[in-house]
């Protein structure tokens, strides 16, 4: 359906990107998604092709300070390529320093920049989806990371939202600025920060962005719950590829479906409850490997339980017990209580996954919307960050 997606020097045969999701897209989950993606390309007649699987968001300050948890989060499997890391920053000096670590220490093959996060603790600092409102700040962060990446031919991409709210849209001018600064692609989630994940994604905005940005790939994100949705987004917007987030929660085989669909195959995965249980257990084992601690892995898998079991006939008692699982032994014991032969439930298992939330007022720094230029106070904050990073 689509030619391979080109992100700088990287050729992504299946034009699908796993969206960075905090607490989700760690090395364990990415491994699971990659395995299913490879199955999908095989169904479509391709061999070895895969999608692009991005790490969860990495805070540049924590990376520069080399906090143990952050250093764990930027780890990749030996066979993971391209190694893709998403950075979040609110100032160019720290962004540059973090990118330099990734580049000089050969820790990444692709860097994505987060300008789409709507979470209050991020936007309140002027980060995520709030940041493109400050045009010069946005451009300077993007330019700094692109410059560092260029030292070893590591492409940089940008992921953003439409804007802060309907009265403060930023996506067109931000994308054009990013294009001028040398990014390899731009991705748009068709919602504003104020929407969070509520309502419907505005695919018309994605189409407009594709018509506006012409020299680099444009990717679309929002409301892709199935391979059919991805195909429809491409048809309606003309994008060069799709970014999939909540649609794969508890459903990593969506990457099988997506790879098959873009390879021209109508084959789709419809697992039995037993097959889903096996995937859930494998996910847990990968988390044990990732954390090096069985109890922590079991605490992590709890949030995935409802997503994996969506639509299946699993009683409330066993669902509740699984959501409190504390060891592999207890997980195995509970999984044996599932009706393994229960077939894929169809419609009840389809559609939205994860919390949609509701529209809200975006938390922003004081006076953030007064001007698209930085205030003197914010300029001082950035200058202090630069001094801190440089050791001055």
Which residue numbers are catalytic? 117
Alpha helices in the chain (DSSP H): 27-43, 60-64, 68-73, 92-104, 120-123, 135-150, 171-181, 203-212, 227-237, 254-262, 273-291, 294-301, 305-309, 316-322, 328-335, 376-390
User: What whole-number distance in Å separates Cα of residue 300 and Cα of residue 277?
Assistant: 16
Residue 262 CB: number of other CB atoms within 10 A? Answer: 29
Residue 152: how many CA atoms within 13 Å on its side-chain side? 14
Burial tier of 167 (Cβ tally within 10 Å: 0-12, 13-18, 19+): exposed
| Cα R_g (the chain), whole angstroms | 21
- Report which of 248, 268, 257 is spatially closest to residue 30, judged by C-alpha positions: 248
- Report which of 249, 355, 244, 353 is spatially closest to residue 301, judged by C-alpha positions: 249
Q: Are 240 and 15 in contact (CB under 8 A)?
A: yes
Angle value at C-alpha 287, between 281 and 289, nearest 5 degrees = 110
């Amino acid at each position: 359906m689509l030619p391979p997606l080109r992100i700088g020097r990287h050729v992504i045969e299946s034009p699908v990107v796993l969206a960075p999701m905090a607490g989700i897209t760690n090395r364990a989950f990415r491994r699971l998604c990659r395995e299913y993606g490879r199955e999908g390309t095989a169904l479509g007649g391709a061999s070895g092709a895969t999608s692009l699987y991005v790490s969860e968001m990495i805070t540049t300050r924590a990376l520069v300070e080399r906090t143990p948890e952050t250093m764990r989060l930027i780890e990749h499997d030996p066979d993971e390529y391209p190694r893709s890391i998403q950075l979040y920053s609110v100032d160019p000096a720290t962004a540059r320093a973090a990118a330099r670590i990734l580049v000089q220490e050969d820790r990444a093959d692709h860097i994505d920049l987060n300008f789409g996060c709507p979470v209050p603790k991020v936007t309140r600092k002027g980060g995520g989806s709030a940041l493109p409102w400050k045009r010069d700040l946005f451009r300077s962060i993007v330019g700094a990371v692109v410059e560092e990446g260029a030292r070893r031919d590591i492409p940089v991409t940008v992921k953003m939202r439409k804007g802060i709210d309907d009265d403060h849209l930023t996506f067109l001018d931000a994308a054009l600025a990013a294009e001028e600064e040398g990014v390899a692609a731009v991705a748009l989630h068709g919602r504003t920060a104020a929407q969070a994940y509520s309502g419907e994604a505005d695919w018309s905005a994605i189409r407009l962005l594709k018509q506006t940005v012409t020299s680099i790939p444009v990717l679309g994100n929002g409301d892709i719950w199935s391979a059919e949705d991805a195909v429809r987004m491409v048809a309606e917007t003309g994008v060069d590829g799709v970014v999939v987030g909540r649609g794969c929660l508890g459903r990593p085989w969506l990457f099988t479906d997506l790879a098959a669909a873009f390879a021209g195959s109508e084959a789709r995965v419809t697992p039995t409850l037993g097959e889903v249980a096996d995937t859930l257990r494998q996910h847990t084992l990968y988390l044990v490997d990732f954390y090096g601690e069985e109890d922590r892995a079991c605490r992590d898998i709890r949030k995935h339980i409802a997503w994996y079991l969506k639509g299946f006939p699993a009683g409330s008692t066993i669902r509740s017990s699984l959501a409190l699982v504390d060891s592999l032994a207890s997980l195995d014991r509970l999984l044996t209580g599932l009706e393994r032969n229960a077939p894929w439930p169809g419609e009840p298992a389809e559609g939205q996954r994860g919390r949609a939330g509701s529209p809200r007022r975006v938390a922003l720094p004081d006076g953030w919307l007064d001007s698209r230029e930085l205030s003197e106070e914010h300029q001082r904050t950035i200058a202090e960050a630069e001094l801190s990073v440089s050791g001055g």
